[in-house]
A = this chain, B = another copy of it.
């Protein structure tokens, strides 16, 4: 792993969505690196934020409960920060279809709040923004690189892409130092696993640890790549410390492409027991399913040297361990 000590030691950093899956793993890492971490989170039920995610770091991380929709609060919170890691968001595709207005407020309006706050109150802050592969929609070719046509298949994808464009625009017009990362499926300790809102993987982990059958939609042949959370955190920190990435958008991706059925079987094997079953797609999920997806992450690799290091086998073994130990905090 790269040594980031010199970069973040004594630096003030703000992590939005810092009680969430990625946010909490990042905040803990930054605190370990000696940064002065403030976590911003609304702790909206079902959005992924969990107080237990910062367990053990209570005296090293400053917590500010607030909603990104609170424009006035953001104007204050961005001041004095050297880095902003912008991980807050509404991430459920299904919820975005059932309530497009809330998704709009969180994934568009609040992103404008943050960028406007930085433009007016902290124009030199370094920003890393978490985006999603969802902007691409159903892949027209594989692996998907950053030149792939944009064709989001749900409200969440539309709004997250607007968020990406805001970042690029505020860089180009106002010189804000911002980078967007289009994440693929991420997994690891501290993800919300109560249901399939954030990703199917979370639900599978819960089903497995609780001794229930894993349900795989369709024929299970859909291909995916996945990133272990430590690799995602590494990418975020590398980007933040690489000036050449400012104004750019990068894919993350995994080097092990796996079908969903193969993944279910791997999890069962790592768990030592369990079972899975193919079931038909629920229609509301089928309508927004993207089929096979895996990313070309060579642009990020060229710019920063990043590549995923944790294998699926190793990453899921660690993740299963975590939920066997702490599962009661998550379901």
> Would A162 and B158 be within 8 Å (CB), given that A108-B104, A112-B104 are in contact?
yes
> Would A173 and B97 be within 8 Å (CB), given that A152-B165, A158-B162, A159-B162 are in contact?
yes
Q: Mark A34-51, 1 if CB is under 8 A from B, else 0.
A: 000000000000000000
Partner of A100 from the list B101, B112, B150 (CB cut-off 8 Å) is B112
* Interface assignment of A244: CB less than 8 Å from any CB of chain B: no
Q: Which of A130-183 contact B (CB under 8 A)?
A: 147, 149-150, 152-155, 158-159, 161-162, 165-166, 169, 172-173
Q: How far is the CB of A92 from chain B (nearest CB, A)?
A: 16
Partner of A169 from the list B155, B161, B162, B165 (CB cut-off 8 Å) is B155
> Would A166 and B173 be within 8 Å (CB), given that A104-B112, A112-B104 are in contact?
no
* Interface assignment of A321: CB less than 8 Å from any CB of chain B: no
* Interface assignment of A287: CB less than 8 Å from any CB of chain B: yes
* Interface assignment of A109: CB less than 8 Å from any CB of chain B: yes
Nearest to A164 among chain B residues (CB) is B158
Whether B152 lies near A149 (C-beta < 8 A) is no
* Interface assignment of A116: CB less than 8 Å from any CB of chain B: yes
Partner of A108 from the list B108, B150, B173, B288 (CB cut-off 8 Å) is B108
Partner of A109 from the list B101, B116, B152, B161 (CB cut-off 8 Å) is B101
Which 5 interchain pairs have the tightest Cβ spacing?
Answer: A158-B165, A162-B162, A100-B112, A173-B287, A158-B162
- Chain A interface residues toward B at CB < 8 A: 97, 100-101, 104, 108-109, 112, 116, 147, 149-150, 152-155, 158-159, 161-162, 165-166, 169, 172-173, 287-288
25 A-B pairs with C-beta separation under 8 A = A97-B173, A100-B112, A100-B116, A101-B112, A104-B108, A104-B109, A104-B112, A108-B108, A108-B162, A147-B149, A149-B149, A149-B150, A150-B150, A152-B165, A153-B169, A154-B169, A155-B166, A158-B162, A158-B165, A158-B169, A159-B162, A161-B162, A172-B287, A173-B287, A173-B288
